[in-house]
Structures are given as C-alpha cells and as structure tokens.
Amino acid sequence: MSNQNEQVTSDPSAAPGAAPGAALTHRQILIVLSGLMTGMLLAALDQTIVSTALKRIVEDFNGLDHYTWVVTAYLLTSTASTPLYGKISDLFGRRKVFQFAIVTFLVGSLLAGASQNMAELIATRALQGLGAGGLMALTFVIIGDIIPPRERGRYQGYFGAVWGLSSVAGPLLGGFFSDHAKILGITGWRWIFYINLPFGIIALIITSAVLHLPKVRREHKIDYLGALLMVSGVTSILLGIAYAGPAYGWKDTLTVLYFVAGLILAVLFLLQERRASEPILPLELFKNRVFSTAAGIAFIIGAGMFGAIIMIPLFLQVVQGSTAMTAGLKLIPFMLGILTASITSGRWISKYGKYKKYPIIGTGLMTIGIILMRRLGIGTSFWELAGYELLIGLGLGLSMQTLVIAVQNSIDFKHMGIATSAHTFFRSLGSAFGVAIFGSVLASRLTIHLKDGFANLAIHNPTALAGFDPAKVAKVQNNTAVLKTFSPVIRHTVLQGFVNSFADVFLVAAPITALAFFLAFTLKELKLKSNDDHAADRSEALLN
C-alpha cells in the first residue's frame, strides 16, 4: 500500500486517549469492538441463517440444480470486494465505509426477501455479498489498527462469541422461518432476509455512536481494471465448475470455453497487478512467507467451512427427513466447536505468545472429521453426527482467527489494511470455490448413483417399479419435495443415492483439507509484537 500523501486528522468525537500512536485502554477497545461486532453479526448471521432454509427456497423455485449458486453469488461478490474495502476506507475513513457496507447489505437483504425466482434471488444475494465483504474485511482491519498482536488473542474470544451466537441462532431462525408457510402474511422463508433490517438499523446507530478512530488519510489509485479482471476470471471458472460441467459434461465446448476464458483472465489479472501502481492484490505480499502460507491454508479452510455449513443441513433434511429447524438444532455441535476452540486458542496465544501449533492441530481435526462424515447414512444417530461436527468445528476454531493474527503480526503497520483484506479474500475465495466444487460433485454423482440404484432395483425387485414414471427421478434432482409421492422402496433407493453422493463429496473434501494440514507445518512462527512494539509501528505509520 502506498504511503504517499498520507495525512493524520483528528476526530473530535474519538475516544479519549485515541491520539495517533497511543494505545487504547481495555474499556476503549471494548467500546469500539461493540460497533464492530454488531456489524459482523449481520454478515455472520446471514451466512448461517440461509443454510437451513435453502431446501424450502429451492423447492418453491424448482431450483435444486442452482442450490449452491444462492451461496456462491454471495461469496463471489464478498470475495471480490474485500481487497477494495481496505483502500477505500483509507480514503474516506473506516466508519463511513463500514456504514456504507451495512447499508449495501441491508438493501440486498430487502430485495432478496422480495425475490420471485432463482435468478432474482441469486442477483440480490450478490448485492448482499458486496456489503458483507466490507463488514468482514473492515472488522479485522480495524482490530489490526488498535490491538497489538500479542494482545489480539485476548479479544478473539469476543468475535468467537459473535460466530457462536450467529452459528446457533442462524440455523434455528432459518429453520423456524422456513418451517412456517406464512408469518404476518409473508412467506416464512423470506423473513430470513427481512430479519436483517432491524439488526442493520441497530448496527448503524451503534457504529455512529462509538466507532470513532483517529483518521489516517492515504491517497490511493483504485485498481478498477484489476478488480474487473479478477471478478471476471473467478466467475468464468465458477460457471464452468458449478454450471456448464454438471449440465453439459466436462468435455463440452461451453465448459472448456469457461475454463479457458477464466485462465486467460487470471493471467491478465496477474499482469495487471505487476504493472499497476497500487494493485488490488500486491504480488509482493507473497514474498512474505507467513502471508503466503496462511493464504493457502485460509483458502482450504474457507472451502471446508462452507462445505460443511451447506452440505450438512441438506443431508439432514433430504436424507433423514429433519425439519429445517431440527436441522438447525443439529448443527449446534459444529458451532460450539468453533466457539470453544476460538476462545480457548485466543487466550492461550495471548498467554504464551505462540500460534503455529493451533492451525496444525485444527486442520488435522478438521480432516479427521470430514473423513468420518463418509460414514453418514439414513439411520445414522444424532450423537454420531454430533461427534463428527464437533471435530470439524474445533478444527475451524483453532485455525481461522489464529491465521489472521499470524499475518497481521508479520507485516508492517502501514500494510495492515491490504494484507488483512487480502487474507480474508483468500478465505472467501476458497469458500466460493468450495461451495461450487462440492455442489458440482453432489449434482454429478447423484445422477450416477440414481441411475445405478434404479438399475439394481430393476434387477432385484422389478415389481417395485410397476407403474412408476421414470421421469420423476429427474424431477427429484430439481425439487426433493417430489420424494413424498414415491413408494417406500423407491424413496429408499433415491435416498441411498443421496447418501452415496454426499459420501463422494466428503471423499473429495478430505484430501483438500489434508493438504492444509501439511501446509500448516510450514507456517513460520514469529515473535508476537508487544504493546510497545505495536504502538511504535503505529506511530511511525501515522506520522510518516
């Protein structure tokens, strides 16, 4: 990030003692964090509240084949916007840009709730993601501004609590709303978007009251061409993975064109980043070994996290026949694992000043949990599933925030915004690719397993197929509600096809998370900066 034309301006409403370079007291930090956590709750809640309601939404719109795009569109725009928010907030101030992100998110929520078809829902979810990118990125940028790395683990638990609250409340609220046909005359599932409106208004009020920081204005040239190339390249590759490949075949001309176009755009993006005066993703960051390693791990963790959040509720509702709210309740062990590990590891990092072992242990637990998920079946007990969920949740909790601390500790204060945003970018990018890849695997393998299942049924129990319309098998891939019309034997055959398909998804996911486990061993551990070190770096960045 350029240091040119950098100006420090005082904010008359800033917290006392928040002068340039001065460390904030514990009370002042908590005041600032209250504003950040309220905004972050919006984005975190929306990620989890959708998971248990998606089955009902896609049944209403006959769009199971576009199931993952409701999530992918959100992740794509939040990913693309993340690196921009750091620089834009340098120009206009953290609070103004943070509030702009909240308003954008709320407009997207209002329009998503009013969607009439899958195309509208996917488009408005993309607008939501544009706001969510700022909420996520700027939260960690501001934390990096005011809290030294050695003390950051101490406050990590507060954000773990936000994730824990949203992770428990989100699926329950999503299930509650989607299980009701109408609430106050409005279709139940639409409330998963409308519920954001009061939370957003509260977030705007709180951030206006408490989010006052010393302003450091840095003049920037925004790399709009780089952003366009990045979004276009990622979108093209995702369309190949999640749309053209499953629909037309992986060797089809359209699929190949999507992949080739994506790769060409990716190369053009890298060339643009080399020549841009202020690139959206500075390639020099990758010379920092901690950043590059953490970026790779974050990418994989993002894929694993959203793979679990999206696939587990779908498995519970389709295969085991759980209601949306029951599926939300059954996600609690996963969420508790994230919360417990995040708070515990944060305290230990602050106490002992070491962080490397947590991503190693975390990615290892996550891999074991995903491997065990292949054992899930129609009759799997909740307690067995809970054990697997807990392992994955513990793994994520030990890894996610720890990597942010490692990255922020390894860079100069003046690069805090872009490095933090870039790290968040890779985690979000992994989430987008993970959802697209796992959704594609599920769709393509389901077609194969259903075909095999009915072929075996025709051989071993041909009478069960008497009078059955084979066209209904294709319909179940777009709308699982049709399962209710099947006879018990045929329904069991279809459900077993889903079980085998989910097993294939977890089979694909396991070696990916295993790669993160081995990558974590190469993460370089640096001494965490103390209060004095952080204050000195901050003063130098503000005054130079």
pLDDT digit string, tens, across residues 257-298: 999 998 999 999 999 988 888 787 788 888 888 999 999 999
- Average model confidence (pLDDT) for the chain? 79
With a CB cutoff of 8 Å and minimum separation 6, the contacts of 186 are 194
Q: With beta carbons less than 8 A apart as the criterion, state whether 39 and 96 touch.
A: no
Distance CA 281, CA 306 (A): 24
CA pair distance 214, 203, nearest whole angstrom: 20
Pinpoint the alpha helices (H) of 283-331: 289-318, 324-329
pTM of the full structure? 0.74
Q: What is the largest CA-CA distance in the chain?
A: 82
Per-residue pLDDT, 257:
94
Please spell the DSSP secondary structure of 89-137, one letter per residue.
Answer: HHHH-HHHHHHHHHHHHHHHHHHHHT--SHHHHHHHHHHHHHHHHHHHH
Residue listed under structure tokens 């103390």: 530
- Side-chain-side CA neighbours of residue 48 (13 Å): 27
Partners of 187 in beta bridges: 182
Instruction: Output the six-digit token pair for 271.
Output: 């060339």
Sketch the domain layout of the chain as residue ranges.
16-210+280-459+490-543, 223-279
- Say yes or no to pLDDT of 134 above 80: yes
DSSP result, 420-483 = HHHHHHHHHHHHHHHHHHHHHHHHHHHHHHHHHHHHHHHHH-GGGGTT--THHHHHTTT-GGGG
CA distance readout (Å), 61 to 8, 69, 162, 191: 52, 13, 32, 16
| Residue 353 region by backbone torsions, left for phi larger than 0, else alpha for psi between -120 and 50, else beta | left
Flag whether pLDDT at 227 surpasses 50: yes
Least confident of 203-212, 414-423, 444-453: 414-423
Contact of 74 with 126, CB cutoff 8 Å = yes
- Both tokens of 184, joined, read 């106050």
DSSP state for residue 187 in the 8-state scheme: E
Q: Is residue 385's pLDDT more than 70?
A: yes
Host H or E run for residue 217:
strand 215-218
Classify domain 16-210+280-459+490-543 by CATH number: 1.20.1250.20
Lowest mean pLDDT among 65-69, 442-446, 460-464: 65-69
Residue at 459: amino acid letter:
I
pLDDT at 521: 94
Q: Tell me: the pLDDT tens digits for 305-337?
A: 766 667 888 888 888 888 877 887 888 888 888
Residue 504's pLDDT band (boundaries 50, 70, 90)? very high
Q: Over the stretch 195-219, which tens digit does the pLDDT of each residue have? A: 888 888 888 888 787 776 655 555 5
Rounded distance, CA 45 to CA 124, Å? 17
Q: For residue 9, what pLDDT is reported?
A: 42
Q: Higher confidence at residue 510 or residue 307?
A: 510
pLDDT tens per residue across span 92-119: 777 888 889 999 999 999 999 999 888 8
Instruction: Return the C-alpha torsion angle 91, 94, 100, 106, nearest 10.
Output: 160
DSSP state at residue 5: T
pLDDT class for 543, splitting at 50, 70, 90?
very low
Q: Pick 531 or 226 by higher pLDDT.
A: 226
- The pLDDT-based confidence of 303 (bands split at 50, 70, 90) is confident
Q: Work out the number of other CB atoms within 10 angstroms of the CB of residue 264.
A: 14
Task: Check pLDDT > 70 for residue 232.
Answer: yes
Q: How confident is the model at residue 38 (pLDDT cuts 50, 70, 90)?
A: confident
For 42-96, write each residue's pLDDT tens digit: 777 776 777 777 778 877 877 666 666 787 788 778 877 777 787 777 777 778 8
